[in-house]
Every structure is written in C-alpha cells, then in structure tokens.
Amino acid sequence: MTLFFLAYLILAGLALGQAVVLGIQAWEHRRYARSCLRDLNSQRPSGRAAVFVPCKGYDVDLAENLRAVLRQDYEDYEVAFIVESSDDPAVATLRQVMAEYPQVATRLLVVGKATDSGQKVHNLRMATELIRPEIKYLAFVDSDAGPRREWLRVMLSRIAPREGSAKPDVCVATGYRWFLPQRPTVANHLLYSINCGVMALLGRSSHYLVWGGCWGIRRETFETIGLRDAWQGTLSDDMVATRVLRQNRLRVRFEPACVVGSPLDQTLRQTFSFLRRQYMVARFYAPLWWAFALLNATLINLAYLGGLAVFAVGMLAGSPMAWAGVGTTVLLYGLGVFRAAVRQGLTSTYFPEQHPSFSIARRWDMYAGPLAGLANGLALLGSMVGRHITWRGICYRMLPGGKIRIAWRRETPPTKATDKPEYRDTPLRRAA
C-alpha cells in the first residue's frame, strides 16, 4: 500500500510540474500574440507572391474562405487554385468566387489524380513545377481556412530579407488553425479544446514546425533546399517541410497574424478519425514530437485517474492519503482551468468580430478540460497501431521513411482527357 501511494505522489508531482510549465507557455503565447498583433499596418514588404490553394471536395464555408484569400491587402500577388479534376465539387464555387474578384490574378489548375504521393502533395508539386521568374515568395493556404486581410502582407514581412541583420533571416513563417464551431455539439467542442491546447504551445520560435494549412517561404529557399523533390512519394506536405528545414537549420517563425479561422462541424466519429490521422502522420514523420505528445497526454490522464484510485483505496483502508488524491486532482483541475482561461482570452485578440459566438466553446475548454484530455489521449493511443491513413476519400499505406502507397480511393468521376491547367490572368490591383 505504501509503495502504491509513493508511486502516485511521484506521478502527481510530475503531472503538476507539467501543468505549471504548460500554463507558463500559454501565458507566453498570449503575450507574444498580443504584442505581434498590436501594430500590423507598419509592415510593408515588396515583391510578387504566388499563393497556392489546394482544394478537394466541399468544405464548410468554402466560398467565404476563398473570398478571404482574394481580399488580401497586399497588392502584388496571384492565386492558383488546384484541383484533382474538373468534376470536383469545389470547381463550381471556385469559378464563381474567381469571377467576383476580377482585379486579382487567378488560375485554376487541374492536375489529375495522384499515383505515388498524397493528393495534396501531388497538387502542390504540380502547381510549383514551373514558377515564373518574377515570383519572390510562395504562400500556401488550405481551402478550409479563412485568413484575415493582413495575412499575406504580414507573413511576407516576416520572411523578407533584412539588410544589416546580424542574425540569420527567417526564411519561413507559419500560422495555425483556430477552429470555429458551427454548432454547440460535444464533438465540435472536444476538437476545439484539443486544438486550442496544441496552439498554445506555439511561440516566437516554432522549433522548425510548419503547419501546412497556412505558411509562406522565400522562393529561393524553396528551390535551394529542394522541397518540391522532397515531397515526392510522401503524404504530409508540412511534416516533410519541417524535416527538410530542420536538416538545413533554417529558422521558422510562428506568426500570430497568420492564425486562420477554420469552420468546424463534425461528428464524434469524424473527430476521432481526424485526431488519429493527425497523430499517425506525426508518428511517421516526426516520431519525437509524437512521443512527446503521447507522454504528456498519458501523464495527465494517469494523474487524474490515479487521484480517483488513491481516494477510493484510501477511503477503503481508512488512510488519510485518500485526501491527497482529492487535493492533487483539484489542483490539477485548477491549473487546467487557469491555462484554458489564458488561451481563451485570445479569442478577442484573434477574432474580435466573432468573440461573443465563442462563449459556449470557451466555457467548455475551461471546465471540461479533463474530458478533452481523455479524448486526446485515446486518439494518441489509437495512433500507435496501424499503417493505413484515410484522408479525403483516399486510403494510404505508410511505408518506411515516410513514403506511401495508395491502397484504395473512393470512386469519383474520371478526369477528362481534355483537362489541362486553365490560366486566367487579370490586371493586378494597384494601390491608389
């Protein structure tokens, strides 16, 4: 019995230490985000940018997300929308939105089905095969993300070369998603809370981590490190980019102005499928980060469950140690509420116009943290086994080294033989 209580005290000490560190990191994330978003108007980079938007199927609020990409306040840019087939459900919406913004140079690229890479990776490789000489920056954003008007301008300002700087220049800037629950369901709030916890770990230095839903890179860097070739035969564009950038010791910066709103409306099954897929990708491409996430989730869940066990065993044995379990659990819960309250204070910073609509989601994150932690832990445990990942109707088998093989794909109308990249260049918007 004594050894049981001693083991629990060690576990509880580690969990409390972890909770304190995570709380400090959440506080630092909030401080950093507010400082970066305080003045965005002074940043005025120059140089032509190419924005790539891979699309597949119909995302929630797809049209509004695409409009956000075309409403950027950076004058010198063009946008390439990339689809597998002209029969893709997204094409009709793409054409409609492109017609609404004739002042922005846009292209619709039909690139065909992937055969040896993930479909998104295939789309990006095809779209970046020939980059016009005047392009200075490359930016990537997913179709389920809605960037703010300053997104492109601020991101490019972070990676623009700085003359006379003693430190190495930042070559890559990355954002992250902030889910926007469309309905107050358990599934939506679980994923919202888990995602907020991950985002709070990001700070000024992203430790080479790139999030593929929203990031930018200098064109010269993209070509020098051979990222397009590194994508060949892989599934994850961002994890491969992270790996290549780490190998080349190139600086990556997390930019709060590049945080994008991503509409969320999923079932519980879809939520666990999404989480397991994300963690499986990390397991094959970033095993140390995956192991770190698994260790953290396991530690906090064991501490909560251990507290209940100590209380039950202590009460049965008449031991005063029973209250140690209660006290530790309450303290862990309190630290979790504090951490969630800090990061939820960011909703008015990142999305001031939508701040009131987050009320239920904010309370869920603050007071149902243990439930979200348990769901996250189960998803991580599920990612420990298996080699098959299903993503947007295609099942991939993971091979050693991060290579993949397509196992099967949901039947879709075949790409027409006449489908070729369709270009529509229109006059660029110029500053008055």
pLDDT digits (tens, 9 = 90+) for 32-76: 999 999 888 877 888 999 999 999 888 888 999 999 999 999 989
Q: pLDDT tier at 411 (50, 70, 90 boundaries)?
A: low
SS3 content of the chain, % helix, strand, coil (to 5): 50, 15, 30
Residue pair 45/135 in contact (Cβ under 8 Å)? The answer is no
Closest CA to 122 of 202, 235, 44, 38: 235
Place of tokens 């499928």: 273
Residue 175 confidence (pLDDT) above 70: yes
Tell me the C-alpha distance between 281 and 390, whole Å.
Answer: 11
**What is the amino acid identity at position 255?**
E
- Domain residue ranges of the chain, discontinuous segments joined by +: 2-27+292-382, 48-162+169-176+211-266
Q: Coil, helix or strand for 365?
A: helix
Residue pair 106/421 in contact (Cβ under 8 Å)? The answer is no
Q: For the whole model, what pTM was predicted?
A: 0.90
Residue pair 138/219 in contact (Cβ under 8 Å)? The answer is yes
Fold of 48-162+169-176+211-266: Spore Coat Polysaccharide Biosynthesis Protein SpsA; Chain A (3.90.550)
Tell me the C-alpha distance between 278 and 275, whole Å.
Answer: 5
- CA-based torsion, 162, 166, 171, 177: positive or negative: negative
Residue 280 confidence (pLDDT) above 90: yes
- Work out the mean pLDDT of the chain and round it to a whole number: 89
pLDDT digits (tens, 9 = 90+) for 8-18: 889 999 999 99
Provide the 10 A C-beta neighbour count for residue 329: 21
